[in-house]
Amino acid sequence: MKKLFALFATLGLLAPFAMAQTPDAPPASVAPETNTPPPRPATIHERLAAALAIPTISTQDPKDFPHDEFDRFETFLAQTYPLMHERLHKEKHGQHGLLYKWEGSNPKLKPVLFMAHQDVVPIPDIELAQWTHPPFSGHIDQTHIWGRGAIDVKSMVMALCETAEILLEQKHQPQRTIYFAFGQDEETGGRDGNQKIAKRLKERGVAFEWVHDEGMVIADGIIDGLQRPVALIGVAEKGYVSLELIAPGMGGHSSMPPNETAVTKLAAAIVKIQDNPLEPALDGPVRELFETLGAHMPFPQSFLFSNLWLFDGLVTGQLASKDATNALVRTTTAPTMISGSIKDNVLPTEARAVINFRVHPKDSVQAVKDHIRKVIEDDDIRIEVAPNTLYSEPSAISPTSAKGYQLIEKTLNQHYPNIYVAPSLFIAATDSRHYRDLTKNIYRFTPYWMTAGDRQRIHGIDERISIKNYKAYVAFFQDLVRAASEIQ
């Protein structure tokens, strides 16, 4: 049961390229360069490896954003998937956000959107030497494709492009219009990518039958008591807000400090916030998750989860007491930044702290603010949303009875007949939040087959995907997109 309670938060989840300088005039013995593109990689895993070799790293500071690499990736997609770029309508939003529209034959049917993001997180210099293969080498061995983005989530961009190209080669004509949206800044909030794409689609009056974005995975051998892997579909995601607490002080020299300073006031407030978290609750998709999986577990888990009407308090208390599962049942509190004086012997006139909250669907950002104001018991401390940070309310809970969920579940059962499928709460944030006004049906699932040893690879060292997994990944989306494009 310990492994069961340790699973979900870890799942809640996600070197610049040197351009050679060519001489102004080549020697007579050297043939002049042409504009002929490089040959298309022959296999799907070679194409993914080539994509991973392009370092599309998103950065917090716009001045450091590698625009050339994103331009290169866009060119790579156009050269690698010629039918997709010939027959689908392509638009660019923001600086590098890509939107593709595959027109359906029946305009009465609401379209479906498939999403992913082009950008990947940076690699700290201290970690580079720890990689088995360089993170942007596009290395392939007999079993795996290695590189940043193999899991999160360049592989999904490539799988969706592979899907479109394959279906076009098969002369598939969708009845329902299909959109593909690939943002370039999801890892830093998505403001210039999918936020702008969603805004433009809303202005055009587009409404989606359902939206599919990155999210949860197929968990294999991670949940104690389950004899089979389980595909977890995120039907909701937590909100996100970082609040800044600003405590005033008298200032002055540290040799004659008052009993209360800006720092002590701030420290007392942080302790009160940490000691008084928002209340937990076992409801919504998390409750449905345990009710679904409980039937497949041995005693006593099966007994507890099949009788939550009786053991709700016991199970909720156990979940809330574990760091790994606390995030499933409540809004989490994480003090992350603190600042005060500019010198060790100077009392600050102001001390600041940033506290990050992942807001549970039962709460709201305003409820978090109200709770913090109440527990700190100090009206002198200002509470503001931290500047230049992501801000989003928790999502609504998308129904498991809707077409999108049912179709994802059906396709999963066709491709993986020996797995369980269950809804859950995604505790991270995705670009899908920008599309909440365009549909009430948003599902967050990545067909990555994850074992316990893979979890630390997400945003970590030696990110990789097996060739077998990636082939199944593409096959899954091929059937899902085909089915989504037909009348259901």
Active site residues: 119, 186
Q: Does residue 436 sit in helix, strand or coil?
A: coil
Q: Please check whether residue 332 is in contact with residue 367, taking contact to mean a CB–CB distance below 8 angstroms.
A: no
Q: Torsions phi, psi of 102, nearest 5?
A: -105, 100
- Give the span between the Cα atoms of 461 and 230, in whole angstroms: 25
- Give the span between the Cα atoms of 324 and 110, in whole angstroms: 39
- Six-digit token pair at 162? 């592979």
> Which amino acid, one-letter code, is at 307?
N
- Six-digit token pair at 283? 């409801």
Using alpha carbons only, give the angle 258, 261, 265 rounded to the nearest 5 degrees: 135
- Give the span between the Cα atoms of 249 and 396, in whole angstroms: 41
Cβ neighbours of residue 408 closer than 8 Å, sequence gap 6 or more: 212, 233, 443, 445, 480
> Which amino acid, one-letter code, is at 270?
I
- Give the span between the Cα atoms of 430 and 115, in whole angstroms: 10
- Six-digit token pair at 466? 């097996």
Paired residues of 241 in beta bridges: 357
